[in-house]
Amino acid sequence: MQRERSYGDLVFAKALLIILDGVGCGALPDAGKFGDAEANTLGNTAKAVGGMTLPHLQRWGLGNIIPIEGVAPAANPSACWGKAGEQSPAKDSTVGHWELMCYPSKKALPTYPEGFPWEIVSELAKRTGKKFIGNKAASGTEIIAELGEEHLKTGALILYTSADSVLQIAAHEELVPVEELYGICRIARELMQGENGVGRIIARPFIGLTGNFQRTARRHDFSLPPPRKTMLDILREKGIKTISIGKIYDLFTGNGIDEAYPTKSNQEGLDRILEQVSCQEGGFIFVNLVDFDMLWGHRNDAAAFYRGLQEFDYYLPKIADNLQAGDLIIITADHGVDPTTVSTDHSREYIPILAMIKGVTQGKSLGTRKSFADVGATVGEFFNCDAPCGESFLQQILLPLENHLVM
């Protein structure tokens, strides 16, 4: 059974954690080792578009975290604000989400900037009965444009990677049905274990004709399972209902998740948030809005990145209005993906934190947190569950009991 925490006349029943995928807020001290010394996704995007107008996020305190052109610091923010560094030596979604849920990785997952060794490609071909072309680090849209025609002529699948710990396989939907591609990726997942255990195997179906290939929304990630329990597992064991929206289920291979709602876009994810916060009386709702990373950050499209932030800003008051007094909401990220740099890869950055409990929060600084795990520890304390690591900031969010107001 769920153990509810009470606070005066309120019961803490529901928590909402929203990950703006890739929306970092400045280079970490060791970012230079990752080639990201100048990265600042929020700050640089604002400069690139001549300043951003995000009135609701500004009111919550986004501009109090770092200087953001057009988003001034709020005098009396609605939420608490801060940023967090990453303990794990990585900058990818899998490890970032694991650390957010109180599992910092001690070592980076393997990457293959020069392509996969012959032994791996040979074994993959043997197990799948397929031939492969490409086998290099590349932008997904670019390698499909480069090799899509050869793929259609020969039937060989397009194999590639990036600066992240991923193995990606692209195939045209009319040549390789999506379910067949998924099956091939499952075989790749079985192969890529141990020292070759990349964070994700990604199926990348596409459609169209030569010169106009387009990736479809039927991408699917086959992630490496977390090596040990995360906060999701702990919550579920304590009877807390856990709900995922977006790619959360994939990143945790379903571990610790009761209900999953995959999405094809930020728009669908935002609509799912409104639906779930309205219908769920309690539990933990964990959301990833991936378009910032997948569509705009990796394609260095700062203007579209800004439009995505504007869309989220528009939805924010609707989300808050549908929360009940005593509900917790945290908005953060999992890494950076600065769309203004030469690189199209993720960037090693701090992640922003905006947090409030509806009706009992007075905006204040949460400072610079040492680990993403502080987010998971806060969710854990909210539900009266012990976290394996991280320092909760729940008590910093709360007003003194005698001052709390129900909104």
Return the pLDDT at 248: 96
Q: How confident is the model at residue 407 (pLDDT cuts 50, 70, 90)?
A: very low
- What gap in Å lies between CA 224 and CA 215, rounded to an integer? 23
* pLDDT-based confidence at residue 4 (cuts at 50, 70, 90): low
For residue 27, pLDDT beyond 50: yes
Strand partners, 260: 244
pLDDT band at 1 (very low <50, low <70, confident <90, very high): very low
As a whole number, mean pLDDT of residues 166-189 equals: 97
Q: What is the DSSP string of 50-83?
A: T----HHHHHHTHHHHS-BTTBPPPSS-SSEEEE
Give DSSP secondary structure letters for 240-301: --EEEESTHHHHTTTTT-SEEE--SSHHHHHHHHHHHHHH-SSEEEEEEE-HIIIIIITTT-
Measured between alpha carbons, how far is 183 from 176 in angstroms, rounded to an integer?
Answer: 11
Per-residue pLDDT at 267 exceeds 90: yes
Indicate whether 380 pLDDT > 80: yes
Neighbour tally for 374: CB within 10 Å: 26
pLDDT over 70 for what percent of the chain? 95
Average pLDDT, the chain: 94
pTM, whole model, 2 decimals? 0.89
Work out whether strand 166-172 and strand 157-161 pair parallel, antiparallel, or are unpaired.
antiparallel
Own/partner pairs, 307-310, CB within 8 angstroms, 24+ separation = 308/266, 309/20, 309/23, 309/45, 309/52, 309/54, 309/57, 310/52, 310/53, 310/54
Q: Is the pLDDT of residue 328 over 50?
A: yes
The angle subtended at Cα 378 by Cα 377 and Cα 383, nearest 5°, is 95
Q: Is 168 exposed, middle or buried (0-12, 13-18, 19+ CB in 10 A)?
A: buried
90-148 confidence digits (pLDDT tens)? 999 999 999 999 999 988 889 999 999 999 999 999 999 999 999 999 988 899 999 99
Q: Is 385 in a helix, a strand, or coil?
A: coil
In total, the chain counts a number of residues equal to: 407
Average pLDDT over residues 154-164: 94
Largest Cα separation within the chain, whole Å, is 72
Q: Band of the pLDDT at 401, cuts 50, 70, 90?
A: low
Closest residue by Cα to residue 24 from 52, 53, 81, 66? 66
Which domains, from first to last, does the chain contain?
A: 5-105+226-403 (3.40.720.10), 118-223 (3.30.70.1250)
**In this structure, how many other beta carbons lie within 10 angstroms of the beta carbon of residue 167?**
26
Structure tokens at 143: 């390698």
Phi, psi of 381 (to 5 degrees): -65, -35
Could you read off the pLDDT of 215-229 as tens digits, one per residue? 998 998 898 999 899
pLDDT band of 8, cuts 50, 70, 90 = low
Q: Is the pLDDT of residue 265 over 60?
A: yes
Give the start-end residues of each E strand in 308-371. 328-332, 351-357, 365-369
DSSP count for the chain of H helices, then E strands: 14, 16
CA-based nearest residue to 200, from 178, 181, 225: 225
The more confident residue out of 264 and 368 is: 368
Q: What is the pLDDT of residues 90-102, one digit of tens each?
A: 999 999 999 999 9
- When pLDDT is cut at 50, 70 and 90, the band that residue 6 belongs to is low
